Amino acid sequence: MHEIGVVRQMCKTVMDFAAENNIQSISEIVVEIGELSLIIPKYVEDVYPLVTEGTMLSDTKLIMETVPGLAECDDCDEIFNVVEHEGYCPNCGSFDKTILSGKDFTIKEIHLPEENQQ
């Protein structure tokens, strides 16, 4: 389970950002998890409370959004969902493709509590 390392890194990035910007508390973190990133949202959800326990993020809500794994076929230019079609191009059956999205785990947004907003 490599999610714990990924979540630790994410929390560090958020806390570094907060420290640099004098932010005292964060209400929500929105992350995007690509379908092809090999990161399982359920595990992220499970380890998040462990990683944030005792930190400024212990009351911060984690919101996860899934990014579909899309690829473009190198042979016929069809754009298709890699997971749905098991890596095959549904149009011509080719395995040669260029991944367009869904490979990354990224922090999309950080929301501050209402009273801190200017």
CB 79, min distance to Zn ion, A:
10
Q: Which is nearer to Zn ion, 59 or 96 (CB)?
A: 96
Kindly list the residues in this chain that would bind Zn ion in the complex (CB under 5 A).
73, 75-76, 78, 89, 91-92, 94
H-state helical runs in the chain: 3-20, 41-52
Q: Which is nearer to Zn ion, 18 or 89 (CB)?
A: 89
CB 3, min distance to Zn ion, A:
33
CB 84, min distance to Zn ion, A:
14
Q: Which is nearer to Zn ion, 31 or 36 (CB)?
A: 36
Strands (E), the chain: 28-34, 61-67, 70-73, 79-81, 97-101, 105-111
